[in-house]
Structure 1
Amino acid sequence: MAKEFSRSDRIAEQMQRELADLLQFEVKDPRVGMVTVTEVEVSGDLAHAKVFYSAEKGTPELQKGLEKTAGFLRSQLAKRLLLRTVPQLHFVYDASIDNGMKISRLIDDALAQDQDNADKGDA
């Protein structure tokens, strides 16, 4: 019987929790402000990890700050996780939250416009 979660999935979940904690409390780089780790994908051979993040402002400076702190984060993960080798971290901006907010705003605008048209029809 196959396991419900593969080892890489379990490591990805643990890495997500630890990275969120490290980014919030340990990273001192001013370019890295409030960052939310939305997902971590670890390759099957555990050599690489894509860290998907979102932030209020997804700027190139934030990306550079995260890439600069990758070594520090990796060394801290090595202390916290029981792994022989810690995956290389690759940061990817996750625009799904921005897209969801944009769609929500469009729906709200459409509903408000529909309500205005209905109110004009009643008058």
Structure 2
Amino acid sequence: MAQGRRVERVAALIRKEVSELMINGIRDERVHHGMVSITEVEVSGDLQHCKIFVSVFGEAQERDQVLEGLQAASGFLRGELGRRLQMRRAPEVVFQLDRGLERGTSVLGLLNRLEDERQQRGDIPPGSDQQPGSDEQPTG
């Protein structure tokens, strides 16, 4: 169990350091095209591999450019992580686009559209929380 806590601790430190390096250390302009945030860091049990999930707010082209810039800077980041975390061997860093926010926004949009369609058909009165076909009166 101590090994698991160490991996979690290293992942948290990597997240903190890479966030700081993305702001102050990476000079590649591609990285600064969109609003980038680190959503998750996964570190292997042997601390040799690190997968960093990033979310990029912007158009698809901007996301691709940011990801290319981050991949190009991965060697620099690996060296900096080794120095800052004082690790004998810094993990190999791989960036992956996290599409969780994108999917969540898409689902919310679909739910809103469904609700609008149901209101237009008259299935649900506007502003009502009542389910269609329910004869129960609200209490209160």
What's the RMSD between the two structures over aligned residues?
Answer: 2.3
Normalised by the length of structure 1, the TM-score is 0.84
Query: Who is 2:36 aligned against?
Result: 35
Picking from 55, 59, 64, the partner of 1:60 is 64
Distance 1:75 1:41, change over 3 A: same
Moved more, 91-100 or 58-67: 58-67
Q: Are the aligned partners of 2:14 and 2:81 in contact in 1 as well (CA < 8 Å)?
A: yes
How many residues align? The count is 121
Query: Who is 1:90 aligned against?
Result: 94
Normalised by the length of structure 2, the TM-score is 0.75
Instruction: Report the 3-state secondary structure (helix = DSSP H, G, I; strand = E; otherwise coil) of the residue aligned with 2:122.
Output: helix
Cα distance, 1:42 vs. partner? 0.7
Gaps of 5+ in 1: none
Structure 1 segment 1-123 matched on structure 2, within 5 A: 2-3=1-2, 5-33=4-32, 34-57=35-58, 58=60, 59-118=63-122
Query: Who is 2:133 aligned against?
Result: none
> Using CA pairs below 8 Å that are at least 6 residues apart, which structure has the higher relative contact order?
1
% of aligned pairs identical? 33
Gaps of 5+ in 2: 127-140
Cα distance, 1:35 vs. partner? 1.3
**Which string of whole-angstrom CA distances, capped at 9 and with x for unpartnered residues, describes residues 63-95 of structure 1?**
221111111212222232132221010111111
Distance 1:7 1:62, change over 3 A: same
Cα distance, 1:38 vs. partner? 0.7
